[in-house]
């Protein structure tokens, strides 16, 4: 696998460049219940890591928007994906991982114990990462069952502690910030589960956008149709499971009058769940690939 063959220095990084991955779904088992497990998601992660390591300059941050594990948050899943992701951290890239409905916090923290130190809400994986022009706040939207290796509910949920933090802190956040989670805005509630986050985000004056995974498609929307700011809402592709397959680069651009962050889609494939992409491809799959070429989403900072 191509890697940087030198110790990266400060000059090798662009502090304003980040990469977004979501729905990685790496399975650490080779078989389960007597059935062989596909290694497709693992292969796509290896491809993504290799391409990140060839970027010049390197991104300082990689954000993963949940569902790093395949289906039931097994520790074997995290151990397997860690082998690839460690290639990034070894050269000085900071990795921030959110929780999706296919994750389990205890197993995750056994492999990524630094996130237990980084979280600002005990019992959650809730992080704030400061970049030169903005902060990135990754919410923990996992509604988790207590048993290990259990299938969690598919929908998202903020803990009461997280809801209180959002309601108290985000209206007065001092820097421009982006809000991220695994689940979509309309699935998350604040104020004791009474008010959708989508209806509250317009009250966060420094929020410049909302970014999430879960749906496995590249899609752009507006967080609210009430605020004049038209704050973008971006849905990310899956890194390698089903749906739109790929990753997103996120780059700050500055001009004399305007500062923006541009999310650019790096699309690898499109296929539907449970279907072999190597088999005879429906024409609609390739039509979608063609439609999405060069897709971007611009956020005004």
Tens-digit pLDDT profile for residues 57-88: 999 999 999 999 999 999 999 999 999 999 99
Is residue 8 assigned to a domain?
A: no
Contact 240, 273 (CB under 8 A): no
Is residue 242 assigned to a domain?
A: yes
26 DSSP 8-state letter = B
What is the total count of domains within the chain? 1
pLDDT at 1: 45
**Would you state the structure tokens that stand for residue 176, as one six-digit string?**
């421009």
Is residue 150 assigned to a domain?
A: yes
Is residue 7 assigned to a domain?
A: no
Alpha helices in the chain (DSSP H): 40-53, 75-89, 105-111, 114-118, 160-169, 197-200, 283-292
Most confident of 6-20, 32-46, 102-116, 187-201: 102-116
Q: pLDDT above 70 covers what percent of the chain? A: 97
| Other residues' Cβ atoms within 10 Å of the Cβ of residue 195 | 13
132 has pLDDT over 70: yes
Contact 174, 203 (CB under 8 A): no
Is residue 188 assigned to a domain?
A: yes
| Other residues' Cβ atoms within 10 Å of the Cβ of residue 212 | 26
Is residue 10 assigned to a domain?
A: no
Is residue 136 assigned to a domain?
A: yes
Q: Which domain holds residue 172?
A: 17-300
| Other residues' Cβ atoms within 10 Å of the Cβ of residue 280 | 5
For the segment 249-272, the average pLDDT, to the nearest whole number, is 94
pLDDT at 36: 79
2 has pLDDT over 60: no
pLDDT at 42: 95
C-alpha pair distances (Å), 294 with each of 215, 256, 263, 265: 20, 25, 10, 7
Is residue 6 assigned to a domain?
A: no
At 227, the pLDDT band (50, 70, 90 cuts) reads confident
* CATH (domain of 114): 3.60.21.10
**Would you state the structure tokens that stand for residue 280, as one six-digit string?**
């005879």
Contact 156, 184 (CB under 8 A): yes
At 21, the pLDDT band (50, 70, 90 cuts) reads very high
Omega before 225 within 30 of 0, i.e. cis: no
Partners of residue 221 on adjacent β-strands = 233
């Amino acid at each position: 696998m191509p890697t940087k063959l030198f110790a990266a220095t400060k000059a090798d990084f662009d502090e304003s460049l980040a990469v977004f991955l979501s729905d990685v779904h790496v399975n650490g088992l080779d078989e389960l219940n007597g059935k062989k497990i596909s290694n497709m998601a693992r292969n796509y992660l290896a491809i993504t890591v290799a391409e990140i390591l060839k970027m010049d300059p390197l991104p300082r941050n990689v954000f993963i928007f949940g569902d790093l594990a395949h289906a039931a948050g097994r520790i074997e899943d995290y151990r397997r994906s860690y082998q690839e992701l460690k290639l990034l951290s070894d050269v000085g890239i900071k990795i921030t991982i959110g929780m999706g409905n296919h994750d389990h916090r205890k197993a995750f923290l056994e492999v990524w114990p630094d996130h237990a130190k980084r979280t600002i809400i005990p019992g959650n994986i809730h992080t704030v990462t400061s970049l030169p022009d903005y902060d990135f706040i990754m919410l923990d939207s996992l509604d988790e069952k207590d048993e290990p290796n259990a299938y969690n509910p598919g929908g998202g949920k903020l803990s009461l502690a997280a809801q209180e933090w959002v309601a108290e802190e985000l209206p007065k956040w001092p820097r421009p910030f982006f809000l991220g989670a695994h689940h979509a805005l309309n699935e998350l509630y604040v104020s004791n589960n009474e008010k959708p986050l989508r209806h509250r985000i317009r009250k966060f004056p420094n929020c410049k956008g909302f970014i999430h995974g879960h749906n496995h498609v590249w899609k752009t929307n507006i967080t609210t149709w009430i605020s004049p700011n038209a704050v973008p809402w971006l849905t990310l592709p899956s890194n390698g499971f089903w749906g739109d397959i790929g990753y997103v680069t996120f780059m700050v651009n500055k001009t004399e009058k305007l500062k923006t962050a541009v999310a650019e889609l790096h699309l690898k494939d499109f296929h539907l769940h449970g279907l072999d992409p190597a088999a005879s491809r429906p024409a609609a799959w390739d039509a979608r690939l063609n439609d999405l070429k060069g897709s971007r989403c611009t956020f005004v900072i």
